[in-house]
Structure 1
């Protein structure tokens, strides 16, 4: 007798094939939707898996977790306390004639006479200059979670009122001084190195004229701009704000 052939295999094969095609279609639809995902959708997706992992990019380039619990009010309070601590240190150390502080919206600005850190035409950090940086390092470390960035600015004075400085010497001296201070702070391990920036302005951001030796001394300086986090994304340019404020104050002094 001949055995009967089974006739039920064809339909089963088609069902399996159809299921596979459907799954592949779903897979490619998912890939397409992910490729066009915007920031808000991505944050929502990550937050659904781990709320503590959500991050927002700050103007200084580092990441701050939104799950950390830090609010803008916390940041503002920390920056206020940092300013007060710095002012107390300058007063107690007897350096009020060589270090000046100012405070703006979201930042603390510290200006050091160049003799605090360096000898004339030198970018070798003095031992007493290291002691000053040690004194300000601790309060910076305590406020690190609320700090966006620290800019270290190097300035020189125009040696002759009528003749600009040699470009190479001027720029290198200002940049090297800012860099040396930045390196010292980085080696103290008080803040993420990504938040430390050094800038050499040379003679081109004076705060006084260069007509007399006393005025030139005011222009030879190193400055620190310590800016706080702006969690609402409204960070401004603290350096420009400071110089605008300084110019306004100078104009008012001249008028009186």
Structure 2
């Protein structure tokens, strides 16, 4: 990777580089519906044969240093990772107001959001370094919501992890096609996703018997708790949520 900020370097350093590993990355140009896009693929070039893979979905500020750092952390952990671009090339909001407006555009058009996740998934699944039968999707904030929406399409993914994502419910419940195991990691003091939103989401999942899901709430933890560049960062919840994801991925991508 290129030089990154001290906060993101500290985050990256929590995942040791395995002995003999050669982490490489490449910018990938591809298409989302109606627009060009570009994301970052990261992998361990010393690994042999098709590897399990993780699609990483960004928050409402778009594909940037944060998700690229998360992708390298995943590559160090043994996965091919692709930090996808849900917005399209060059679309990177500068303010919370711009980011909110853009994210809510897609919250208002969930089929379009699902298609944009699918475009990133297709890039990852087609890569020769990837075992297409072992792909998971994770996302942060807006990307957490997007990862769950993609799972609702019945996509052939091994699992989904949402980090402090918005929990969108549907009326009527839209869980019939949902097959992938879900791990939802949320803050117990998140005003964006209050207790009643968590309960409504859980109740929707309960309408499909046999669906494999978990919701983990971290005490006294606000929204966006994994992001070290903002005041809501909570180191303990960040570390615990990453560990929870690692255990989940080890299970579903085995």
State the TM-score, normalizing by the size of structure 1. Answer: 0.28
Greater fraction of residues in strand: 2
The structure whose RCO (Cα within 8 Å, separation 6+) is larger is 1
Greater fraction of residues in helix: 1
Which protein is bigger by CA-based radius of gyration? 1
State the TM-score, normalizing by the size of structure 2. Answer: 0.28
